A and B are shown apart, each in its own frame.
Chain A
Amino acid sequence: MKKICLIFFLLISTNMSIAEENRAINLFKEVRCLVCQGQTIHESNAEMAEDLKEVIREKIDQGQTDGEIKSFLIEKYGNWIIMTPPFNGLTYLLWFVPLIILLFGIYFILSKKSHKV
């Protein structure tokens, strides 16, 4: 029984680490390598990227959420380090302008057509 428990425990713990490793990889793909040109730390094996990967792995081990880790990185290195721009005062225009342009165009095409009918 003890053995089975142990195996079960091992299975769970390995599964956990696979899930955590996936989380780590997804985070690596979100973090920019500061010394490379446009690469994420996932794609780079520069020393700086390796260090950051280690930091992120540690934070995951400590049980921090993705959000917490990202905020930590932003606080330390600035918005620049996160690949996907956050949704805040600085980026409202970035996210909304395409939508406004789309709606304007639909309104424009429809109003032009309906005038004639």
Chain B
Amino acid sequence: MSTTIYYISNILIIICLASSLLQTRYLFNINKFNNLSISFLATIQLFSILIAFGLLIYLFLISDFSFELVYLNSHSEKPLIYKLSGVWGNHEGSMLLWILILVLFNFFFSLFSFKRKIFQNLTVSVQSLMIFGFTLFILFLSNPFKLSENNYADGIGLNPILQDPLLAIHPPVLYLGYVGFSLVFSFAIAGLICKEIDKTWASIIKPWVFIAWSFLTAGIALGSFWAYYELGWGGYWFWDPVENASLMPWLAATALIHCVVVLEKKNTMQSWTIVLAIMTFSLSLIGTFLVRSGILNSVHTFASDPGRGLFILIFLFIVLFGSFFLFAIQSEKINKPDLSSLVSRSTGIQINNWLLMTILSVVFIGTMYPLATDLFLNQSLTVGPQYYAITITPLIIIFIFFMIFSPRLGWKESKLINLIMSMRFILISVLSLSFIISLYFDLFNLSEITIIFLSLILVFTSLKSGFRPSGKNTIIKSNLGQNIAHAGFGIFMIAVVSNAVYSKEKIYDAKVGDSLELSGYIFNFKKIEQVEGANFNSLKAYIDLEKEEKILDEFTPEIRFYSDPPTITSETSIIHKFFSDIYVVMNVPQNQQSVSVRLHIKPFMNILWFGVIMIILGGLITAFLKRTRIDEV
């Protein structure tokens, strides 16, 4: 049985490899196979990988340990959902997932009928070239269907820190984002080859860019939320290299979606758009490279293999070199002049795009610098959160400033004074509101006040222009998505700053019966007991939350002891109140007498996630609301 599956799955991968190679024919002008339609081959690509992926899921579900991957990453006693998520909780499986999403995007894109057929053919060809590369990679360097040489009675199991419902969906969502930009990249290459990067080009790619961007945002947010409650360090973003690796493509992608909008409206900024499309996808590849190569010192690097890193590096080199070479010889022919004046919306977008690039360079340098000094100067260095706070804060202030004003400027030319007059009511009310807020909450740090002040203006102006109907027949304005996302970003920034300022924490060495205190709350340590879980034993503490003599709720933080593989994890217990999270985490006991308990009060966490959800929603609305009718192209 196992050997049958082994052969079937490898044959399926080879079928995908072959059909992808055939799909690349338009790149080389081979007219031999013109009777094979691209959608037919795309269907074969999709189904071969889909069935292979289904087989891999099946192997994990039935715990077939004759396959090495299942043996290394699963265990017969693991709950069903983690058997499933074990499929992509490892290198080989996640690469197969990566390919599945590549062929999925390729398939959907090949379904549409275009009048400019050559665009579609070339895009699918470039996309298939990538599918070919990655399929080759999994076939020879990272085959998920490798039979193990020994007979194992049971598997090693999935790293318990990854056994979490959120982390089961985090990789697929993130990959939908990363890989979504492969399609944008392919489309950019097709546009470069045809020398036709114009309004039509932008209107075709726009929904795809926004979908990919929304998934990337959601994927990062899920990871961040997971880190918040699973790692138990009280934070939601640690400027960890792997987090940075996903933030970099996001920053480039955010600049890209704005370029695509300008291109669609004004037929300018062609070079920007192309460079950003190439950059976003390359950074997605670098993200994969950084995570998968094991050169990072990080909690996330659960797969380490330099050989595979080398492959991604060569692949990346080909992508970068090839696309920039093409760009260099074609860029003169694609660029259209920018006719707008200095005070205009497109200037605002250009400035903010540059700010995004600057933030990206901060993240890039901050991540790479310690690696570089270590490698070339033999000096190790830590670039911690404070570096990012110092460098990014001033950039964010200017960024929000332009986010407020540029959407309210005309595309061609505007008078600043008119703009300020039209916003006078909001400006005055927000100014007084932030004055009251800063007095009431003792907020005297200039940059904090400025960010909160500007973010409030951003929220109000965005909401105002997003929901006020303009014409008689328009109920929903076409920029609804934009305004929701911008308002969401304002809300997010307010939450980030207030959270940083007002977070409180205290560490106690506590015994049963102790009453601990943090900002007016009393934590009564009632008892601690041993509990048996699905595939772990745990030490569970019961702590009552009390305020003003009333018991409000109960915390149940845990220390879990997993045996397959042997790992100890600390499970946080969080009570989400409207304005703040109260967060309790136990450390692994060092002695019999007491246990170290850490209490956190994290204000505005709900509001922070709400802001993120608004950002994602805004992206999805823009993707689906005003779709350009592709059949007219």
- B366, CB-defined interface residue at 8 Å: yes
- Chain B residue numbers with a CB within 8 Å of A39 are 233
* Interface pairs (30), CB distance under 8 Å: A37-B297, A38-B240, A38-B297, A39-B233, A43-B234, A45-B587, A47-B590, A79-B379, A80-B382, A82-B382, A82-B384, A84-B386, A85-B383, A85-B387, A90-B377, A90-B381, A94-B369, A94-B383, A95-B391, A98-B365, A101-B357, A101-B358, A101-B361, A105-B357, A109-B347, A109-B350, A109-B351, A112-B338, A113-B338, A113-B342
Shortest beta-carbon distance from A106 to chain B in Å:
7
- Chain B residue numbers with a CB within 8 Å of A98 are 358, 361-362, 365, 391, 395
User: How distant is the Cα of A113 from the Cα of B369 in the complex, in angstroms?
Assistant: 34
Chain A, residues 8-32, CB within 8 Å of chain B (1/0): the string is 0000000000000000000000101
Chain A, residue nearest B344 (CB): A113
- B298, CB-defined interface residue at 8 Å: yes
5 additional A-B pairs beyond A47-B590, A80-B380, A93-B365, beta carbons within 8 Å, are A43-B233, A45-B587, A85-B383, A95-B391, A98-B362
Chain B, residues 343-371, CB within 8 Å of chain A (1/0): the string is 00001001100110110011001100100
Chain B, residues 217-236, CB within 8 Å of chain A (1/0): the string is 00000000000000001100
* Interface residue ranges of A90-111 to B (CB < 8 Å): 90-91, 93-95, 97-98, 101-102, 105-106, 108-110
* Interface residue ranges of A42-76 to B (CB < 8 Å): 43, 45, 47
User: How distant is the Cα of A105 from the Cα of B299 in the complex, in angstroms?
Assistant: 35
Shortest beta-carbon distance from A28 to chain B in Å:
10
> In the complex, are the beta carbons of A102 and B380 less than 8 A apart?
no
- B566, CB-defined interface residue at 8 Å: no
> In the complex, are the beta carbons of B358 and A105 less than 8 A apart?
yes
User: How distant is the Cα of A101 from the Cα of B364 in the complex, in angstroms?
Assistant: 12
> In the complex, are the beta carbons of A45 and B590 less than 8 A apart?
yes
Residue of B233, B379, B384 touching A84 (CB-CB under 8 A): B384
* Interface residue ranges of B91-150 to A (CB < 8 Å): none
CB within 8 Å for A84 and B387 given contacts A79-B382, A117-B341, A117-B342: yes
- Chain A residue numbers with a CB within 8 Å of B357 are 101, 105
Residue of A83, A91, A106 touching B386 (CB-CB under 8 A): A83
> In the complex, are the beta carbons of B365 and A85 less than 8 A apart?
no
> In the complex, are the beta carbons of A113 and B341 less than 8 A apart?
yes
Main secondary structure of the interface of A (DSSP, over half): helix
User: How distant is the Cα of A116 from the Cα of B347 in the complex, in angstroms?
Assistant: 13
Shortest beta-carbon distance from A99 to chain B in Å:
8
Chain B, residue nearest A45 (CB): B587
- B385, CB-defined interface residue at 8 Å: yes
> In the complex, are the beta carbons of A102 and B395 less than 8 A apart?
yes
* Interface residue ranges of B51-75 to A (CB < 8 Å): none
Shortest beta-carbon distance from B390 to chain A in Å:
8
Counting residue pairs across A and B whose Cβ atoms lie within 8 Å, the total is: 101
- B238, CB-defined interface residue at 8 Å: yes
Chain B, residue nearest A39 (CB): B233
- Chain A residue numbers with a CB within 8 Å of B438 are none
- B537, CB-defined interface residue at 8 Å: no
- B373, CB-defined interface residue at 8 Å: yes
- B479, CB-defined interface residue at 8 Å: no
Say which size band chain B's interface belongs to.
35 or more
- B596, CB-defined interface residue at 8 Å: yes
**Which one of A32, A43, A97, A116 has the highest number of Cβ atoms from chain B below 10 Å of its Cβ?**
A43
- Chain B residue numbers with a CB within 8 Å of A97 are 361, 365
- Chain A residue numbers with a CB within 8 Å of B587 are 45
Chain B, residues 580-617, CB within 8 Å of chain A (1/0): the string is 00000001101000001000000000000000000000
- Chain A residue numbers with a CB within 8 Å of B385 are 83
Shortest beta-carbon distance from B612 to chain A in Å:
23
> In the complex, are the beta carbons of B365 and A45 less than 8 A apart?
no
Shortest beta-carbon distance from A90 to chain B in Å:
6
Chain B, residues 305-348, CB within 8 Å of chain A (1/0): the string is 00000000000000000000000000000000111011000010
User: How distant is the Cα of A95 from the Cα of B369 in the complex, in angstroms?
Assistant: 11
User: How distant is the Cα of A85 from the Cα of B386 in the complex, in angstroms?
Assistant: 9
Residue of B298, B350, B362, B377 touching A38 (CB-CB under 8 A): B298
User: How distant is the Cα of A81 from the Cα of B382 in the complex, in angstroms?
Assistant: 7
- Chain B residue numbers with a CB within 8 Å of A79 are 379-382
- Chain B residue numbers with a CB within 8 Å of A101 are 357-358, 361
User: How distant is the Cα of A56 from the Cα of B607 in the complex, in angstroms?
Assistant: 37
> In the complex, are the beta carbons of B391 and A85 less than 8 A apart?
no
Shortest beta-carbon distance from A30 to chain B in Å:
8
Shortest beta-carbon distance from B507 to chain A in Å:
8
- Chain A residue numbers with a CB within 8 Å of B351 are 106, 109
- Chain A residue numbers with a CB within 8 Å of B298 are 37-38
- Chain A residue numbers with a CB within 8 Å of B387 are 84-85, 94
CB within 8 Å for A80 and B381 given contacts A85-B387, A90-B373: yes
User: How distant is the Cα of A48 from the Cα of B349 in the complex, in angstroms?
Assistant: 49
User: How distant is the Cα of A32 from the Cα of B386 in the complex, in angstroms?
Assistant: 13
Shortest beta-carbon distance from B53 to chain A in Å:
31
Shortest beta-carbon distance from A51 to chain B in Å:
13
CB within 8 Å for A38 and B341 given contacts A90-B373, A93-B369: no
- Chain A residue numbers with a CB within 8 Å of B299 are 37-38
Chain B, residue nearest A82 (CB): B382
User: How distant is the Cα of A109 from the Cα of B402 in the complex, in angstroms?
Assistant: 14
- Chain A residue numbers with a CB within 8 Å of B383 are 84-85, 94
Shortest beta-carbon distance from B539 to chain A in Å:
15
> In the complex, are the beta carbons of A78 and B386 less than 8 A apart?
no
> In the complex, are the beta carbons of A83 and B379 less than 8 A apart?
no
User: How distant is the Cα of A81 from the Cα of B380 in the complex, in angstroms?
Assistant: 9
> In the complex, are the beta carbons of A85 and B381 less than 8 A apart?
yes
Shortest beta-carbon distance from A52 to chain B in Å:
14
- Chain A residue numbers with a CB within 8 Å of B358 are 98, 101-102, 105
User: How distant is the Cα of A108 from the Cα of B391 in the complex, in angstroms?
Assistant: 21
Chain A, residue nearest B242 (CB): A38
Shortest beta-carbon distance from B383 to chain A in Å:
5
User: How distant is the Cα of A79 from the Cα of B369 in the complex, in angstroms?
Assistant: 13
> In the complex, are the beta carbons of B382 and A85 less than 8 A apart?
yes
User: How distant is the Cα of A81 from the Cα of B596 in the complex, in angstroms?
Assistant: 24
- Chain A residue numbers with a CB within 8 Å of B339 are 116
Chain A, residue nearest B351 (CB): A109
Shortest beta-carbon distance from A108 to chain B in Å:
8
User: How distant is the Cα of A81 from the Cα of B383 in the complex, in angstroms?
Assistant: 10
* Interface residue ranges of B415-447 to A (CB < 8 Å): none
Sort A-B residue pairs by CB-CB distance and give the 5 closest, nearest first: A83-B384, A105-B354, A84-B386, A80-B380, A45-B587
- Chain A residue numbers with a CB within 8 Å of B382 are 32, 79-85
- Chain B residue numbers with a CB within 8 Å of A109 are 347, 350-351, 354
